[in-house]
Chain A
Amino acid sequence: MVDNHDIGLMAHLMRRAGFGAPREELERRAAKGYEATVEELIHPKTTEPADEYTLLRYQPAALLPGGMPPMGNVNWMFHMVNTQRPLEEKMALFWHHVFATGNSKVDNYDQLLAQIAMFRQRGMGNYRDLLVALAKDPAMLYWLDNNENHKDAVNENWGRELLELFSMGQGNYTEKDVRQASRAFTGWTFSVKIPRLPYGRFPWEFEYVAEDHDDGEKEFLGHTGNFNGEDIIDIVVQQPACGHFIARHLYNFFVADEPQVPSWKINLPRDEAAVAALADTFHESGYDIAAMLTTLFTSDFFKEAYFTKVKSPAELVVGTLRLVGGAELPRPDYGRDVALQPTYMGQDLLNPPSVEGWHTGKEWINSGSLMSRINFVAEMVGSTDLPGVQDMIGRLRAKGPLDPDAFVDSCLDLMGPLQVGTDTRQELLEQAREGGSLAWDTADEVEASVVRVGEMLQLIVAMREYQFN
């Protein structure tokens, strides 16, 4: 039998391992069981990704958007709102945070979307293979100038970030290692055919130019050999620092907000044991991300971490849209009304501010972004004709007349279940008391009650607690 605790835990899992879920889905998953749901999220064989053909029928320009927003944003937003493989998509977002690649330089959403598709495909696979695919990803090659990394003129941009931001973190290698790693990736570039038409673009493709590769001997992290790029990655993933670094990233993204990445060398993890457990899984499993995720989602440290993270703009927008429904089809204004909403709140997807990615946690919040966040979500939940809001109204109505306490608690339950502080609950209760009990007997009562539910939901999402995941 599914009880409230099961629903609460399932809601927590779905907020973190996905973008939240409507009540009906929570009930269905809770009935299946927690472990079974984790298993299904990590190995989503039986569920469908978003249907690209539907996207293209409505927004043909979202297939190959070139360099102009918002069609790149439209494409990804459509996937996030519609996928039935929420963890696969969440992992694509996770790797986008870590391997932050931006249109400001790449100027090519086609290639950025191809990179995201690669994250979808490999994001829960083997980390070594993911790094190799990343090293061959044309958007990344261009973003970090590896196409300018030549046998006789080494460019260290990619080599450095591979070690600093993508695998081990500062303090775990020397400048010499950066140099040697960069030498090993000389000749790793991409080619572009000149399009036949002036405005079309052909895809960029990875190319290995053997004559531009420095095949000489290299000394890297204590190993010596005529290393090529894959050898470097093989050595990197064996380092204890690599497991620890990826573990901390997963903890920061899925469990609780850590300080910003550049300070990790100085600030220890808030939960050393949790990070160590994840790092152990990384090395024991042979760098298997799925194994790490299983460890993470079935751990007590995860199950106890309710509402300990500030929602990223993408989580806030997508989570709300999946709750209220109605944004499944990319209608004409989809770009401005939906896909650019995270941008307005400070997270321009596919265009992070730098290779360091976004500053997360409380840094998402400023006076402008907070107002944008509250107003967008309030507009959504206040739209009482949207299917998800209708569903919530239906569930309230099914309970019959509700006194103010029950009205507030039922709404909080349907919006999460959401936990709020006593002061917050007091204000919600004042709001509820003003109109007295919620009644559904006559047409007039129903009409008035629907308005009151809409206002209550808006006030709930305006509360600080809703900003947390």
Chain B
Amino acid sequence: MAEKKEPVLVVLQLSGGNDYLNTIIPYANSLYWDNRPAVSIPEDQIIPIDQALGFNPSMEALKPIYDAGDMAVIHGVGYANSPRSHFRSMDIWHTCEPDTVGTEGWLGRALRDIDPNKENVVTGVSFGPSMYRAMALPGVPVACVSGDLETYGMLPGIEGQQRLKVLERFKNAYAPAIGLGAVMDYMGQTGLDSMAGADVLKAAPQRYQSSVTYPDSKVARKLRGVAQVHTAEVGTRVFYLDHGSFDTHASQGGEHAKLWREVSEGVSAFFSDLREHDAADNVVMLVFTEFGRRVHDNGSGTDHGAGGVAFAIGDPVKGGMYSEYPSLKAEDLTQGDLMPNQDFRGVYTTLLEDWLELDAPSIVGGTFESPAFIAKA
């Protein structure tokens, strides 16, 4: 076990546009209170980080991680001319293509560089009903898990001995053959990758034991799946999962708090679990959202905005604050939104170069200022 463990990246996507102002709260700034007559966090509940900023009270479980120096708060993340459309913005985050409609995901490219010969069908594992575009790249296998790992696999309805036989026939029928045509060939390879991935991943829970109890939430179940696969040491280098919806146009208070409690408690349990398995030292988690929300509330919620906040969490992370909280002054806003001051591709660059040790410019499409939140070994 003396050999160096391979670095692993876990990406947690907060879908729907997380409200930056009520996540990392600029409580000492009167403009926060002026702009949030209806959707603010009572001052006595805010968890102070310093004289200016505090965590949302639902992030209580993350505070010890921050205090231990294992959590980087990256301010003002976004990109120029934010379109304020969920899809378009998420797409830009996924593909690093702000000007054209891209189909290749940044992590798809990273996976190609990590495993160019496609030796392992579970190098990338995605937890969600469909594949995230961030992981998509033609020819790069990604194992997509929807539902529980325990029941994951091809044809779960057929049981016992019969199942093994049916799967064997499936494999034979999908085997490469001459003259079927490009689409049949592609589908054949995809089917075989898919089944091989399922075989590997399904075995993971059987080898897994833990004293850590995860809270009962969707995101915690997915994180537990990530822990099961990671501790099974099957060579997975990139995990992807999401939680939401953070699209709090209306009745934001309770919903936003619930979502962050689920994320914080889930993430906290996840890292405790990894630590129990001595498997935390090679994991970095990125938590991001497609955009922050409008500075001024709309009476019961907040509308789509621009600049947001991202987090990097894990033992290899150098905790603290990175970049700056964008100005809340009216004259500094763009269409009522925070002006991003940290390009998201710079955050990716740090993760790709300093953590996964890959060539970032070819993956994110250029060179961007990258915050140094990874502690060099």
User: Which positions in A face B, CB cutoff 8 Å?
Assistant: 67, 102, 104-105, 107, 257, 262, 310, 340, 343-346, 353-354, 356, 359, 361-362, 365-372, 374-375, 378-379, 382, 421, 423-424, 426-428, 430-431, 434, 455, 458-459, 462-464, 467
Q: How far is the CB of A106 from chain B (nearest CB, A)?
A: 10
Q: Does B49 contact A (CB under 8 A)?
A: no
Contact with A along B79-93 (1 / 0, CB 8 A): 000000111100100
Residue from A372, A430, A455, A463 in contact with B162 in the complex, judged by beta carbons closer than 8 Å: A455
Asked if residues B155 and A458 are in contact (CB atoms below 8 Å), the reply is yes
Asked if residues A455 and B166 are in contact (CB atoms below 8 Å), the reply is yes
Asked if residues B169 and A310 are in contact (CB atoms below 8 Å), the reply is no
Q: Does B101 contact A (CB under 8 A)?
A: yes
Q: Could you show 14 A-B contacts with beta carbons less than 8 Å apart? A: A340-B129, A344-B129, A354-B101, A361-B183, A362-B187, A366-B136, A367-B121, A367-B131, A367-B143, A367-B197, A372-B129, A374-B191, A424-B173, A427-B170
CA distance A441 to B180 in the complex (A): 41
Asked if residues A365 and B154 are in contact (CB atoms below 8 Å), the reply is no
CA distance A257 to B101 in the complex (A): 21
Asked if residues A354 and B194 are in contact (CB atoms below 8 Å), the reply is no
Chain A hits for B172, CB < 8 A:
423, 426-427
**A contact patch SS:** helix
Residue from B88, B169, B194 in contact with A430 in the complex, judged by beta carbons closer than 8 Å: B169
CA distance A39 to B194 in the complex (A): 43
Chain A hits for B177, CB < 8 A:
421, 423
CA distance A423 to B173 in the complex (A): 6
Chain B hits for A257, CB < 8 A:
183
Q: Does B62 contact A (CB under 8 A)?
A: no
Asked if residues B154 and A368 are in contact (CB atoms below 8 Å), the reply is no
Q: Does B24 contact A (CB under 8 A)?
A: no
Chain A hits for B330, CB < 8 A:
none
Q: Does B175 contact A (CB under 8 A)?
A: yes
Asked if residues B175 and A459 are in contact (CB atoms below 8 Å), the reply is no
Interface size class on chain B is 35 or more
Q: Does B254 contact A (CB under 8 A)?
A: no
Q: How far is the CB of B290 from chain A (nearest CB, A)?
A: 10
CA distance A321 to B136 in the complex (A): 29
Chain B hits for A365, CB < 8 A:
186-187, 190
Q: Does B286 contact A (CB under 8 A)?
A: no
Residue from A359, A362, A424 in contact with B103 in the complex, judged by beta carbons closer than 8 Å: A359
- How many A-B contacts are there with CB distance less than 8 Å? 132
Q: How far is the CB of B182 from chain A (nearest CB, A)?
A: 8
- Tell me whether A362 and B156 are in contact in the complex, defined as CB-CB below 8 angstroms, given that A354-B101, A370-B191, A431-B169 are known contacts: no
CA distance A345 to B183 in the complex (A): 18
Asked if residues A458 and B157 are in contact (CB atoms below 8 Å), the reply is yes
Chain A hits for B157, CB < 8 A:
375, 378-379, 382, 458
Q: Does B306 contact A (CB under 8 A)?
A: no
Which residue of the partner chain A has the closest CB to B124?
A367
- Tell me whether A344 and B146 are in contact in the complex, defined as CB-CB below 8 angstroms, given that A105-B86, A367-B141, A431-B169 are known contacts: yes
Asked if residues B131 and A369 are in contact (CB atoms below 8 Å), the reply is yes
Residue from A107, A369, A382, A467 in contact with B130 in the complex, judged by beta carbons closer than 8 Å: A369
Chain B hits for A353, CB < 8 A:
87, 91
Chain A hits for B186, CB < 8 A:
362, 365
Asked if residues B155 and A367 are in contact (CB atoms below 8 Å), the reply is no
Chain A hits for B85, CB < 8 A:
104-105
Q: How far is the CB of A306 from chain B (nearest CB, A)?
A: 14
Q: How far is the CB of B112 from chain A (nearest CB, A)?
A: 15
Q: Which 10 pairs show the lowest CB-CB distances between chains A and B?
A: A368-B144, A367-B194, A344-B129, A427-B169, A104-B87, A427-B173, A104-B86, A368-B131, A362-B183, A371-B194
Which residue of the partner chain A has the closest CB to B151?
A375
Chain A hits for B249, CB < 8 A:
67, 107
Q: Does B225 contact A (CB under 8 A)?
A: no
Q: Does B302 contact A (CB under 8 A)?
A: no
Q: How far is the CB of B300 from chain A (nearest CB, A)?
A: 8
Asked if residues A343 and B129 are in contact (CB atoms below 8 Å), the reply is yes
Which residue of the partner chain B has the closest CB to A361?
B183
Inter-chain pairs besides A362-B183, A434-B165, 5 sampled, C-beta below 8 Å: A366-B136, A367-B141, A368-B146, A371-B154, A423-B177
- Tell me whether A375 and B183 are in contact in the complex, defined as CB-CB below 8 angstroms, given that A366-B144, A427-B169, A434-B165 are known contacts: no
CA distance A132 to B188 in the complex (A): 44
CA distance A6 to B180 in the complex (A): 26
Residue from B136, B143, B158, B184 in contact with A382 in the complex, judged by beta carbons closer than 8 Å: B158
Chain B hits for A362, CB < 8 A:
182-183, 186-187
Asked if residues A345 and B190 are in contact (CB atoms below 8 Å), the reply is no
Asked if residues B187 and A371 are in contact (CB atoms below 8 Å), the reply is no
CA distance A161 to B194 in the complex (A): 37
Asked if residues B146 and A464 are in contact (CB atoms below 8 Å), the reply is no
CA distance A375 to B130 in the complex (A): 14
CA distance A421 to B177 in the complex (A): 10
Q: Does B236 contact A (CB under 8 A)?
A: no
